[in-house]
Amino acid sequence: MEEQMVQPIEGQTVQRTEKRRWLPGWGKILISVVLTLAVSTAGWCLLLGRSGLALVEGWLLARFAFVDTGADLDAAADQALNGLVSGLGDRWSYYLDEESYQQTQQRRANNYVGIGVTVNQTDREEGLLILSVTDGGPAQAAGVVAGDVITEVDGISIAGDARTEGADRIAGEEGTQVALTLLGEDGATRTVTCIRATLRNPSALGQMLEGDIGYVQLSNFYSGAADSFREEVDALVEQGAHGLVIDVRNNPGGYISELTAILDYLLPEGPVFQQNPRWGRQSVYVSDDSCVDLPMVTLVNADTYSAAELLAAELKEFQGSPVVGVQTSGKGYSQITFPLSNGGGLGLSTATYCTGEGNSLIGVGILPDVGLELSGTEDNQLQAAMELISEQR
């Protein structure tokens, strides 16, 4: 502090005063920054813990101390995140890199970019046999029909062993062109050009079987699955279906909202689903009194997962609908996929779920009422389901 000397005046007392000097503006800013960093660092230490901080430290050291400055740190981070998920010991949690995350989001929207064909890789040595063509899709617009064989893609042969590469060559970005060389059923060869587009992938496909038995194959529970399923079942009911076979074999599951909408549509009033999250209260989903009043049988296999096996379990529990096939996967955890700053996604199990009566499928799955392995050229599991429907009528 700087002192001021005051000259004495007769009759007055000499006083010594001090003049305070405040910090300059930049000093205040510096102190604020230091304090903020100290507080935030302490906060991160409490939030991350020692192991979390070690992960951050490891990345920083690799970024600024590793001798190879050209090292692919993005790839290293992908492997580290994969290792993190693996270390959790949960078979249902996962890490997706940026490309996989985008593809997964598109698949879960039940959309895909393509030309609108379903192919078989094994039946024809010449290339890919087209089994079906999507109505209104690019392939149909280009004159492609079922029975054609794709022999070349953009002038490159996909015959023989190259058939396994055919689908990847046909795939591409929306709005781009792909030239297909086709071998028609008449033996003639022609070349067409298709413009790739985003197409809707319906979750449910239905048809009427012998004996007025409706059959619906439900391939997933992703966006729009409930609407797709409802449309197919309504159409079968209008056609006079006296029973319903629901095929969820090889169904990977999907969204709880789609599952509960389907259960509400099929079943009368009552609890149909329970979810127990790590954070928050238990949720119990209740169906209204509107329902599909038909005998039902569900087809399952070892690749029936999640919402798909819960559907079969709930139909059996609620109204005694038989299950045909083999024991299901036994998944009773639901995941949330969290987007990450690197463009990827981290899927973590955040809740358990069970049937309306509280029965969990974790590690158990569903034991079918009719245990039957798929065999032969005919679908013996479907035949067994149809027989059960006939017995219930």
* pLDDT for res 295: 96
At 349 the three-state DSSP class reads: strand
The CATH number given to 204-392 is 3.90.226.10
β-pairing, 177-183 vs 270-277, is unpaired
DSSP sequence for 141-166: HTT--TT-EEEEETTEE--GGGHHHH
* pLDDT for res 2: 40
In this structure, are residues 217 and 233 in contact, taking their beta carbons and an 8 Å threshold? Answer: no
CA dihedral of 343, 347, 350, 352, whole degrees rounded to 10: 150
Residue in 290, 292, 203 with CA at minimum distance from that of residue 244:
292
* pLDDT for res 72: 95
Measured at the CA of 68, the angle between CA 62 and CA 71, to 5 degrees, comes to 70
For CATH 3.90.226.10, list the domain ranges present in the chain. 204-392
Residue in 124, 146, 149, 123 with CA at minimum distance from that of residue 134:
146
* pLDDT for res 115: 94
pTM of the model: 0.76
* pLDDT for res 375: 84
For CATH 2.30.42.10, list the domain ranges present in the chain. 111-200
Q: How far is CA 365 from CA 85, 292, 328, 335, in A?
A: 24, 25, 5, 18
* pLDDT for res 28: 55
The set of residues, in sequence order, having a beta carbon less than 8 Å from that of 7 and lying 6+ positions away, is: none
At 347 the three-state DSSP class reads: strand
**Token digits of residue 8:** 């004495």
* pLDDT for res 328: 95
* pLDDT for res 54: 86
The set of residues, in sequence order, having a beta carbon less than 8 Å from that of 101 and lying 6+ positions away, is: 337, 339, 343, 344, 345
* pLDDT for res 52: 83
Residue spans of the chain under pLDDT 70 = 1-44
Q: Which CATH number fits domain 111-200: 3.40.630.30, 3.40.50.10540, 3.30.70.260, 2.30.42.10?
A: 2.30.42.10
Eight-state DSSP code of residue 23: P
* pLDDT for res 107: 86
In this structure, are residues 357 and 317 in contact, taking their beta carbons and an 8 Å threshold? Answer: yes
* pLDDT for res 169: 92
* pLDDT for res 4: 40
Buried b (16+ CB within 10 A) or exposed e, 42-79: eeeeeeeeeeeeeeeeeeeeeeeeeeeeeeeeeeebbe
Give the Cα separation of 139 and 299 in Å (integer): 32
Measured at the CA of 356, the angle between CA 355 and CA 359, to 5 degrees, comes to 40
